Chains A and B, each alone.
Chain A
């Protein structure tokens, strides 16, 4: 077979024309067979190269190669064009309303008291504290006596404290998490940096601001050279971490049997002073009862109601919402939002 330049050029022109004229992807399939496949004129011309006079083989080779490349390129271009066209038309008919809700499982959430406890624990762990816990049904000695609350103290009457039968067992539902502080001091040597979050009990009727079962977080630090300035700085840092950097705190003189000096800590939040908790320097009598060397160590302690903290922080106006277990309340907090 002989090759002619004119023929090759005409084959090329025909192929390009056919590609240009195609309007659908099925047509392109035939084009591929007719103008690109093994039996297409240009493929055949390529096969014929072997029998061409070696002197002109290189020229013909170049010519055929270039023609085939051109056809391939145009084919790919057309093919992409037609695929796009098909997608934009066909997929349009598969369009859905993406605002239709998907299959949901139930919405869950952590109780905000858990979230708050975690938040506080993490903050204090960052300050090198441990999180200490202890029994809720507790001995009177640990809940009262060791805290310098003697047997005749008004707090130990039935109006305030839940006692458990038989009374000789001297067990109470702890009225604060302070017995955990006592256990910590009895079991470990200073320096001590602990917080004690947990459930506490007092014989108050449930109303908008009280509940017989509530939660506290207490803090205790016993170390060399601990001062009231340390207490003040710690409470200020604590308040800012819970209520925001813009809040300020103040200490007001107060009285607790287990601290001396004692103070109430108030937080200035949303334009007013809020009573937040009690605090003070650990009473020497308490340190002595726990065997702490008072010549070497001093300490501070503080305690806050978590329900109260939560109410202030999230604008909760009724205690019932916190204690009733309505899932709508829990769900609104998710697994923890600031």
Chain B
């Protein structure tokens, strides 16, 4: 909310020399964030005077209408100025900056020749004076003495604070509330503007001519006051002081009756509404919409009502969306003479729902949603009534009231408990002072205090609520700092360690970690050819962009998008990876449950809540393109190829300590002949290889782009490693070249050799592959290395093991020794 210092000063006795910054700091200290300080009139110097328009000469032949205006500034001679605005007529009072004046933005006013005339000053708009953004026309004053200082008349020199009020402090959306907070923070004297005494005079009068009221839905409001006036002169102008205050608070002056309701709302925090009493049929009712299906609100929007909308109605129709916006049909117009002034204590939730249902947030609804002081319905309506009488010559007819009187709420609080909770020992005086400053009445002297809670603080219920107030008003800086330490740390979990290891491993191997958007388009899913589980995306009901409504089921879409972005920026040799969650709509979800929070839900309910949340797997994925070792002065580098992506997947699975089997796969979006599937315990856990050329072409990726993906969360946690015994007798090696059919994989052959070679085999390494022998065959050459614990193996013995290995390879893979 915006709040002028001049208005605050009316209710807080501030030190004379206090600066705007000190006031802002005082607000911040008690929890009111100051989002802006507007020093109005700081860079404005006069003379800026009130002038009366004597003559208007319309200059023609220019791109826009230009007027040459004769002005009476109380000077001997008429002063003439050029003016581009046309929202004024002869005899109007306007604001004139005369030569020598400096307007905001260091705009120096001087006499100058323009449009072939001498312009001896400038008629000002509100924007030119720096008091609002209104630049639609120049200011036309309702009052003012000719030739007097307009800066003081318009009360321009002021400071306007823009304050963010937290949702639990509805009372502070007013001069009344913020003045109290400021007074509390600075420990200054405060006078409450909501004085119940002002109601006395009005409440004494009863009249049958007054509009009556009933609360038909008690869940919607618990108090309402309707004060009726006749002979209201609605055409009288709003006094300048009121108009200016409304403007400083960021609202517009509209008409006297409306301005009065807004002024009182800004001052006290109670929204009010003025009805044309002659347009009300019978009495007013607070009721749910039910049968009423339509209402045209003041903003001229015809609204379809929901049956549970809270309304102000009469016998015939819906008149206003309660606490949110009045209706057009019963609004105060130029013809109005009788006014029914409404002020109520509405249920915040009902008004929040009104507002949300119609997507209509008003000054009124914003206040009521955050709760208004129930006492104010009576006081604020009386204050507004008084202003109608004073300013609009209204005659008071009487008041109708419905709802129960306000009950005072009392609670007991323990200083000891509060001190223990905050971690600071508050004295009785500190507690009492703080509570008094926020409006509580405090009795008792020991550790247990009896507190009467002010009507505007329904949020103060538990000991913690009072703790906050006491800590806040005494200052959070009073609280000491203490460092608690957990009872026995547990370190990272196995999966957390795995995540770190893999990330660090990839980063040190030249991969750059990226964090991709999880939002995916249907086109991408289709292009990548995702089927099965990977096609079962969750759809976001309200996506940021309709083009990307799906949650990723895989990391590849994001990786390829990011790879492309890097290429677009000139990247050529790229290796990126991401570790992230994927979402698959694969398992039927339990029905959503919503237990109350007044106790822990039963074990059954907790497990139902958990069952309603889909399982989400953690993936690591990567994409590579270009060179892995870079070309330089020594010659060409080496490109990433399919086997690099597969090697990376293999290294990742190995790093988790899992045994795996590797088979050929034709899974999309990979190249059907260049994709490896890694299986752990028979379950596919990783895919890696070259992308399908169709995908590469469609996304305009570099040829032979390769990707890998490993499901980190599905890999079992490895058991504690058993250390191998390291034998230091020399190893004996044997090379074998085997010819197999091309569809036999190196992995199959290697497994067969291992199986046949016996337990002294230490390693099998593929050192050559020759595929030019024809006949659909290929030759693979391996080095078998053997070692024994207790002896150096002889060539004869090792030869026998080799023969056994070859025999096994022959049996399993049809391998024959290459001659």
Contacts and interface: CB of A to CB of B under 8 A. Distances in A.
Interface string B516-547: 11100000000000000000001111111000
Contacts of A140: 592, 594
Contacts of B506: 108
- Residue among A111, A261, A290 with max Cβ neighbours from chain B (10 Å): A261
Contact of A164 (B349, B539, B637): B539
Greatest chain A CB density within 10 A among B421, B511, B513 is at B513
A37 interface: no
A253 B468 contact: yes
Interface string A198-234: 0100010100000011000000010101111110111
A128 B476 contact: no
B510 A133 contact: no
- Tell me what chain A mostly uses at the interface: helix, strand, loop, or mixed: mixed
A289 B594 CA distance: 12
A107 B595 CA distance: 52
B512 interface: yes
Contacts of A106: 510-512, 573-575, 628, 630
A118 B503 CA distance: 11
Given A105-B509, A114-B513, A148-B597, A165 B541 contact: yes
Interface in B565-594: 565-566, 569, 571, 573-576, 580-581, 583, 589, 592-594
A62 interface: no
A168 B590 CA distance: 11
B487 A193 contact: yes
A103 interface: yes
How many residues of B sit at the interface, in one of the four size bands? Answer: 35 or more
Interface in B409-430: 420-424
B604 to A, nearest CB: 13
Interface in A73-131: 100-101, 103-111, 113-114, 118, 121, 125-131
A101 B168 CA distance: 64
A288 B476 contact: no
B629 A105 contact: yes
Contacts of B600: 186, 288-291
A253 B482 contact: no
A245 interface: no
A83 B496 CA distance: 59
A17 interface: no
B739 interface: no
Contact of B484 (A169, A199, A223): A223
B562 A110 contact: no
A253 B489 contact: no
B75 interface: no
A54 interface: no
B204 interface: no
Contact of A162 (B491, B513, B540): B540
Interface in B19-36: 28-31, 33
A157 B355 CA distance: 12
B349 to A, nearest CB: 6
A325 B468 contact: no
A177 interface: no
B614 interface: yes
A34 interface: no
Contacts of B630: 103-106
A223 B485 CA distance: 10
Nearest to A193: B486
Interface stretch (A4-12, A22-30, A44-52, A279-287): A279-287
B423 A108 contact: no
A169 B592 contact: yes
Interface stretch (B313-321, B395-403, B459-467, B665-673): B459-467
Contact of B423 (A110, A168, A229): A229
B500 interface: yes
Contacts of B503: 110, 114
B481 interface: yes
A141 interface: yes
A63 interface: no
Contacts of A165: 538-541
A136 B713 CA distance: 15
B507 A109 contact: yes
Interface stretch (B209-217, B237-245, B605-613, B650-658): B605-613
B595 A229 contact: no
Contacts of A234: 483-484
Contact of A281 (B464, B583, B632): B464
Contacts of B467: 260-261, 281
A232 B418 CA distance: 16
B353 interface: yes
Contacts of A264: 33
Given A135-B616, A165-B539, A227-B421, A107 B510 contact: yes
A246 interface: no
A313 to B, nearest CB: 17
B609 A139 contact: yes
Given A104-B629, A325-B562, A127 B485 contact: yes
A92 to B, nearest CB: 23
B598 A288 contact: yes
A191 B482 contact: no
A242 interface: no
B31 A254 contact: yes
A251 B476 contact: yes
Contacts of B481: 229, 232-233, 236
A105 B510 contact: yes
Contacts of A111: 513-515
A322 B569 CA distance: 16
B484 A103 contact: no
B422 A237 contact: no
Contacts of A221: 484, 486
Contacts of B598: 288-289
Contact of B483 (A127, A163, A283): A127
Given A121-B492, A152-B353, A330-B514, A137 B632 contact: no
Interface in B442-475: 462, 464-465, 467-468, 471-472
A314 interface: no
B612 A169 contact: yes
A148 B472 CA distance: 22
Contact of B464 (A113, A283, A291): A283
B496 A142 contact: no
B439 to A, nearest CB: 17
A261 B472 contact: yes
Contacts of A148: 597
Given A111-B513, A141-B594, A253-B30, A164 B538 contact: yes
A108 B510 contact: yes
A325 B542 contact: no
A113 B330 CA distance: 58
Contacts of A1: none
A136 B616 contact: yes
A71 interface: no
B479 A232 contact: yes
B487 A128 contact: yes
A148 B476 CA distance: 24
B490 interface: yes
B496 A131 contact: yes
Contact of A170 (B166, B492, B592, B614): B592
Contacts of A130: 486, 489-490
Nearest to B635: A103
Interface of B: 28-31, 33, 166-169, 349, 352-353, 356, 420-424, 462, 464-465, 467-468, 471-472, 476-477, 479-493, 496, 500, 503-504, 506-518, 538-544, 551, 562, 565-566, 569, 571, 573-576, 580-581, 583, 589, 592-595, 597-601, 606, 609, 612-614, 616, 628-630, 632-634, 637
Given A136-B616, A233-B480, 12 more contacts: A106-B575, A111-B514, A111-B515, A128-B486, A130-B490, A136-B581, A139-B612, A164-B539, A170-B612, A203-B542, A233-B484, A250-B477
| Nearest 7 Cβ contacts at the A-B interface | A128-B486, A253-B31, A229-B423, A291-B600, A227-B423, A193-B486, A261-B468
